[in-house]
Structure 1
Amino acid sequence: MDHLYILIRSFSAFVVLILIARILGKQTLSNMNFHEFVTAVILGAIAANFAFNDKIQVSHLLISLSVFTVTSFVLSKLFLKFRKFKMWTEGTPSVLIEGGFILEDNLKKNNMTLDSLNQQLRQKEIFNINDVEYALLEINGKLSVQKKKELQPVTLKDLRMNAGKAAQFPIELIIDGKLLEESLVSNNIPKSWLLSQLKSRGKKQEDIFYAVKSSNGQLYVDEYRDHLKHPIDVE
């Protein structure tokens, strides 16, 4: 009977975790951040007790699972609404290489050695650090890399562009309809330029979900309304 009881509890714990993962969404699985990591560890520990520790009441374990699930779900919704709260909670990406130069202070701030940086670069098939123009440590611990312009794959669009232009790092200007004043000031981009670009497209700031000045100097704009009749959503 004890074995059967543990079997039932273990299967129940597995089903409950599947349901929780489904509730929290795909983002939790693909791109785990600080609060999602903490939630996953705690939920795993509670589920293990749910499966094997018969001294703890099932109702108490279910309450604990519910509390952490709801907390994580509410936080994820708050992050969508309040970007500054998200940045304060999770932090922001750290630039480790800028313009081909290694930023030693940022390595130290992230407790990262040059060996670990080279290791992550090799995992991206970059064995010569001199090939890197920009490298960012994302909040999920992964490294994003942009190679130097002369080492990037050539496209038909590149052949039509002026090859003498220096590569620039993409600059976010609008997120979720909100103007990023700090990005404008730090990159010497006049607010009037951005507004005139939007006006020439017949758009207002409130219509824009995301706007970024790309590496080629062009403005990329994504509206709230994408005008797609049948958007793809692969389940």
Structure 2
Amino acid sequence: MFDSFLFDSSKDLLWIFLMSLLIYPSLVFILRVFGKRTLTNVNMFDFIITVAYGNVLSSIIITKSISYADGVLVLFMLTALQMILSKLQVKFAFFANLIKAKPVFLYYQGEFNEEIIKREKFRKEDLRQALRKNGMTSFEQAEALILEGDGTISAMEKRENSSNDALVDVRWNR
């Protein structure tokens, strides 16, 4: 039962070593060719692709039935599909609206958006943490707390004579 628990064979270790040496630089090359947009975390699909890269990379390295060429093709296709999705979002507003989550106010000008806070399962402690991360000590210092499309919370500090251009596309309700 435990005969291969700590060590299976030197052939297996050599496979993992060599496949790691080949596939990792290949992924780096693919990502460099496709550009920086590939690894941004703008929306949930970007997060999914990042997780998929890790999963695929480990499967390619460990699974002997997956050849190097198979692995490179999978990584290439994931990256290509991600880029196609990104281009469709830029070109067609309908598609972007379908794919991307819109930012929404959790707090704005002294008022909490209780409906969204409850629906998104946030606590006031989460909102206070966002304030602290942005150097604020109270809600009175904040103009807005925004749940971004990628799931992060942005905290906007109150500023005199500010146009609030960054808040144009933020909604109170979804």
Whichever of the two has the greater Rg, that structure is 1
CA contact (8 A) 1:24 1:72 kept: no
Task: Return the alpha-carbon distance in structure 1 between the equivalents of residues 93 and 122 of structure 2.
Answer: 26
RMSD of aligned Cα (Å) = 2.5
Supply the AA of the counterpart residue of 1:55. Answer: S
Is residue 36 of structure 2 the alignment partner of residue 20 of structure 1?
Answer: no
2:156 is matched with 146
Is residue 145 of structure 2 the alignment partner of residue 135 of structure 1?
Answer: yes
Q: Write the deviation string for residues 34-78 of structure 1: whole angstroms up to 9, x where unpaired.
A: 111111111211111111211334343333223212110101111
Partner of 2:132: helix, strand, or coil? Answer: helix
1:73 is matched with 83
Pairing of 1:45-124 with structure 2 (within 5 A): 45-124=55-134
39, 45, 49: which one pairs with 1:29?
Answer: 39
2:7 is matched with none
What's the CA shift for 1:111? Answer: 2.2
Task: Return the alpha-carbon distance in structure 1 between the equivalents of residues 67 and 140 of structure 2.
Answer: 58
Task: Return the alpha-carbon distance in structure 2 between the equivalents of residues 124 and 77 of structure 1.
Answer: 32
Q: State the identity %.
A: 26
Q: Write the deviation string for residues 128-169 of structure 1: whole angstroms up to 9, x where unpaired.
A: 11221222111122322222345xxxxxxx6xxxxxxxx664
1:216 is matched with none
| Number of residues of Structure 1 aligned to a counterpart in Structure 2 | 159
Task: Return the alpha-carbon distance in structure 2 between the equivalents of residues 106 and 70 of structure 1.
Answer: 35
Partner of 2:144: helix, strand, or coil? Answer: strand
| Greater share of residues in helix | 2
CA contact (8 A) 2:38 2:83 kept: no
Unmatched 5+ stretches in structure 1: 151-157, 159-166, 174-182, 184-235
TM-score when normalising by structure 1: 0.59
Pairing of 1:213-232 with structure 2 (within 5 A): none
Task: Return the alpha-carbon distance in structure 2 between the equivalents of residues 102 and 29 of structure 1.
Answer: 33
Supply the AA of the counterpart residue of 1:94. Answer: V
Task: Return the alpha-carbon distance in structure 2 between the equivalents of residues 111 and 20 of structure 1.
Answer: 37
Unmatched 5+ stretches in structure 2: 1-9
1:188 is matched with none
Partner of 1:146: helix, strand, or coil? Answer: strand
| Greater share of residues in strand | 1
CA contact (8 A) 1:13 1:48 kept: no
Bigger Cα displacement from structure 2, 75-84 vs 57-66: 57-66
What's the CA shift for 1:91? Answer: 1.1
CA contact (8 A) 2:106 2:145 kept: yes
What's the CA shift for 1:4? Answer: 3.2
CA 1:37–1:31 in 2, change beyond 3 Å: closer, same or farther?
Answer: closer
